């Protein structure tokens, strides 16, 4: 989409006034004066999440073991109920989504379920830009099955170190590939892959395909009914603001409901007979069948509260603002920061980018430290990327204006030179 912007803080203020999502900001805890552009590492705490967590705590205090049966067994059915809310964000059917484990465990779960290597078809196709845990999980499973990852994990290489070419992914779909796992949005460059094209091509070759939505859920509007992928996994603590280490999401295409879960456990049993404690596992014929153990209710409560906000706002509006405010930020960077060695490293086309701006600079690590002193919370990704995330529900246009001001000042005054390049434990 062609958008035009103006320089000047008055213009930024005008955009805030016109922003249909502006009132949601009050529902989040934003530290006084802090510009928080790290919502894709850890989303901010909302009053809604706090309310649900306190409610769950009260329900535990007041009920003990009966917490599982109060309020129409609300907590017993929590994975499915929260799953149904997340299903609306990705355009899936309610019973195709559940809430379980961490993303990494859900990758293990899906790989264990869908990876059925045969003599001719035994490879898993991935890319070399994905977040490392996806690769670790897949390689360990391949080893369990008796293969050498060097042979059985096929990696599509990036041509430019930033993005993947769909053509390269598709031409890597050879006859020996059994399963594909790819990120919807790349965590460093913010590239949004053409999921439909890749999924369709996988389908034509009868290859199972799953998507990691960690950097798209709550930011990009998906349509899984149309996409028809086999499975998907995501975390809820990034854009979805569910809380530090909050539980993950899992989508299983309904056509697979009859398949046996790779990693079974008693919470995946049919609910009605779970507490008969039968040793024969009868898995629930919906995404809940892929649950493993007892759901962590206190952690899930934060996700439930945050989802109240996301469902109320709607993904269409969230994506619209996200595209607009990131386009505004890129405009300001082009106009004011390019001459100071900053460069926009993410794809610019609306259909090709996720919710963050990938700002590149040779001194990125030091600049991130200088930003923190200036009360800005960005994040750094090796080797030279500052990720800037204006989360649609709580970041304002005026903050983007101020952020660019600060980035310009840091460069002009060389404030970053006071810092070291030695990496911290968590960056
Ligand atoms: C953040 C992220 C994860 C996180 O996995 P956890 O098990 O929740 O720690 C996994 N994959 C990708 C692509 C991510 O961006």
pLDDT in tens, 374-421: 999 999 998 999 999 999 999 999 999 999 999 999 999 999 999 998
Return the ligand 1 atom nearest residue 237 CA: 8
Residue 151 designated active-site? no
What pLDDT sits at residue 205? Answer: 98
Rounded to the nearest whole angstrom, what is the distance from the C-alpha of residue 66 to the centroid of ligand 1? Answer: 34
- With 90 as the cut, is the pLDDT of residue 424 above it? no
- With 80 as the cut, is the pLDDT of residue 59 above it? yes
Indicate the burial class of 359 (C-beta count within 10 angstroms; 0-12, 13-18, 19 or more). Answer: buried
Residue 267 designated active-site? no
Over the stretch 256-312, which tens digit does the pLDDT of each residue have? Answer: 999 999 999 999 998 888 888 888 888 999 999 999 999 999 999 999 999 999 999
Write phi, then psi, for 150 (nearest 5 degrees).
Answer: -60, -35
- With 80 as the cut, is the pLDDT of residue 40 above it? yes
Over the stretch 167-206, which tens digit does the pLDDT of each residue have? Answer: 999 999 999 999 999 999 999 999 999 999 999 999 999 9
- With 90 as the cut, is the pLDDT of residue 1 above it? no
Rounded to the nearest whole angstrom, what is the distance from the C-alpha of residue 65 to the centroid of ligand 1? Answer: 32
CA distance 204 to 219: 29
Interacting residues of 387 by C-beta distance below 8 A, sequence separation 6+: 37, 38, 40, 41, 188, 190, 356, 357, 358, 359, 378, 379, 380, 381
Over the stretch 101-141, which tens digit does the pLDDT of each residue have? Answer: 999 999 999 999 999 999 999 999 999 999 999 999 999 99
- Judge if the beta carbon of residue 181 lies within 6 A of ligand 1: no
What number is the average pLDDT over the span 12-26?
Answer: 97
- With 80 as the cut, is the pLDDT of residue 76 above it? yes
Residue 5 designated active-site? no
- Judge if the beta carbon of residue 237 lies within 6 A of ligand 1: no
CA distance 416 to 1: 35
- With 60 as the cut, is the pLDDT of residue 221 above it? yes
């Amino acid at each position: 989409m062609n958008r035009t912007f103006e320089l000047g803080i008055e213009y930024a203020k005008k955009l805030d006034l016109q922003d249909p999502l502006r009132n949601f900001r009050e529902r989040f805890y934003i530290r006084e004066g802090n510009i928080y552009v790290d919502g894709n590492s850890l989303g901010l705490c909302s009053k809604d999440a706090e309310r649900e967590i306190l409610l769950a705590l009260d329900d535990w205090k007041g009920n003990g073991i009966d917490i599982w049966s109060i309020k129409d067994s609300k907590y017993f059915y929590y994975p499915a109920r929260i799953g149904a809310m997340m299903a609306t964000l990705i355009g899936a059917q309610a019973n195709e989504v559940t809430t379980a484990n961490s993303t990494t465990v859900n990758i293990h779960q899906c790989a264990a379920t869908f990876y059925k290597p045969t003599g001719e078809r035994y490879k898993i196709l991935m890319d070399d830009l994905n977040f490392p845990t996806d690769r670790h999980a897949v390689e360990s499973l391949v080893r369990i099955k008796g293969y050498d990852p060097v042979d059985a994990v096929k990696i599509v290489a990036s041509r430019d170190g930033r993005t993947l070419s769909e053509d390269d992914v598709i031409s890597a779909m050879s006859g020996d590939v059994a399963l594909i796992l790819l990120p919807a949005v790349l965590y460093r460059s913010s590239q949004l892959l053409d999921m439909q094209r890749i999924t369709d091509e996988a389908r034509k070759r009868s290859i199972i395909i799953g998507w990691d939505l960690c950097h798209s859920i709550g930011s990009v509007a998906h349509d899984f009914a149309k996409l028809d992928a086999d499975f998907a996994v995501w975390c809820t603590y990034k854009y979805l603001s569910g809380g530090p280490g909050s539980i993950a999401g899992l989508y299983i295409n309904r056509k697979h409901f009859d398949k046996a879960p790779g990693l079974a456990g008693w919470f995946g049993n049919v609910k009605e007979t779970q507490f008969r404690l039968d040793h024969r596992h009868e898995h629930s014929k919906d995404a809940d069948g892929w649950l493993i153990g007892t759901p962590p209710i206190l952690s899930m409560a934060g996700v439930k509260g945050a989802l109240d906000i996301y469902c109320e706002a709607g993904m269409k509006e969230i994506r619209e603002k996200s595209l607009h405010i990131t386009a505004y930020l890129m405009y300001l960077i082009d106009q004011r920061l390019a001459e100071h060695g900053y460069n926009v490293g993410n794809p610019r086309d609306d259909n090709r980018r996720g919710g963050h701006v990938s700002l590149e600079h040779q001194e990125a690590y030091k600049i991130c430290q200088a930003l923190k002193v200036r009360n800005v919370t960005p994040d750094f990704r090796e080797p030279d990327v500052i990720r800037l995330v204006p989360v649609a529900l709580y970041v304002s246009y005026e903050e983007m204006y101020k952020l660019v001001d600060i980035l310009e000042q840091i460069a002009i005054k060389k404030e970053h030179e006071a810092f070291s390049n030695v990496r911290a434990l968590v960056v």
